[in-house]
Amino acid sequence: MDNAPDTDLRLAPAAEAGRGTRPSPETRQALDPQSPVARFGADRPLAMDAGVALAPFQIAYHTAGTLNAERSNAVLVCHALTGDQYFAHRHPVTGKPGWWESLVGPGKPVDTDRYFVVCSNVVGSCMGSTGPASIDPATGRAYGLDFPLVTIRDMVRAQAMLLDHLGIRDLLLCIGGSMGGMQVLQWAALYPERVFAAMPIATGARHSAQNIAFHEVGRQAIMADPAWADGRYLDAGTRPAKGLGVARMGAHITYLSEAALHRKFGRRFQAGSAPTFSFNADFQIESYLRHQGLSFVERFDANAYLYLTRAMDYFDLAADHGGVLANAFRGTRTRFCVMSFTSDWLFPTADSRAIVHALNAAAAPVAFVEVESDKGHDAFLLDEPAMFSAARGFIDAAARARGL
């Protein structure tokens, strides 16, 4: 087990040569993550859906809690689109607390006093796992768009390799929201014998046409930025910050709800009580979105955003099983708790109900919880007592069934 951050990887050559800019924080994190890293050599490639055997590659991860002697108390947390392995750890770039500290920690529903919790940065991302900002050993330069397209199934295969590396065969629980929920569903379909309980939150078994459309707008914003340089911005010493910032602004709107936006901002002006008759950020909501865009580009890689949104677009669990979603879960012994939020229009409750119906058709044990909330899609990351209560009840019951 490699418990030290990997410091062997080099910065991209353009950065070494000083061609215009210092490496961005997200590039530094891609090449030198401040977390443990599992490395897999040429003899242990990742078989990807794109037909590529990726090797060598690495997975950055973090853990919390203690693995018991029987190795039966492991929980895998799967992160969302722009998340990372810092689920309960201070983020090295932003300095902010872990993104799921509301749910994971001592005495919380995912209780780190009882469970050993693992969260990996997914393949294709930019916080230490191999992705487009990593060095291609064949060229000595950053992969860029030469990196193979990634799928949710690829992410899960890599996570399974990580768990094997850590000596963990079975999971008490696999849990995640949004893209993390897609990974949970894929885990249950691909490795049902390894997952005792699964909790997919605010997600769907496939991406809708509307969600694909929103992602495409974001990708086009990035690719329209001249600094993107056809994906070779690391070689050129540039950063497509404007395009990535606009992509983040558009996506962030989908994570909220109209009620939440109205409660937070309404039509209030940013400065004073009158318009400036300009295109400055007159409204508070404009200022908020610009801040979201600016802060995002300091911690995320533009090409990684292209790759991960595409992975979500490609996800269609029913299509992978003859067009029948129930086929993905036939014969499973995994117990499920599917959760949605009433104001989530990115992954509405109908998406969760479709998963529940498929699980019922497969005779799988499943509970369904729809949480009343006006906080939109991001509710799964926020203070939602009903979510915490349901999660605690489901996880405690799973632990009792496993004798924990």
- What residues act catalytically? 178, 344, 377
Q: Convert the chain into a string of H (helix), E (strand) and C (coil).
A: CCCCCCCCCCCCHHHHCCCCCCCCHHHHHHHCCCCCEEEECCCCCEECCCCCEECCEEEEEEEECCCCCCCCCEEEEECCCCCCCCCCCCCCCCCCCCCCCCCEECCCCEECCCCEEEEECCCCCCCCCCCCCCEECCCCEECHHHCCCCCHHHHHHHHHHHHHHCCCCCEEEEEEECHHHHHHHHHHHHCHHHEEEEEEECCCCECCHHHHHHHHHHHHHHHHCHHHHHHCHHHHCCCCHHHHHHHHHHHHHHHCCHHHHHHHCCCCECCCCCCCCCCCCCEHHHHHHHHHHHHHCCCCCHHHHHHHHHHHHHCECCHHHCCCHHHHHCCCCCEEEEEEECCCCCCCHHHHHHHHHHHHHCCCCEEEEEECCCCCHHHHHCCCHHHHHHHHHHHHHHHHHCCC
Q: What is the DSSP string of 258-285?
A: HHHHHHHTTT-BSSTTS--SSSS--BHH
- Helix residue ranges, H only, 226-348: 233-236, 241-255, 258-264, 284-296, 302-314
37 SS3 class: strand
Query: Is the previous residue joined to 56 through a cis bond, with omega within 30 degrees of 0?
Result: yes
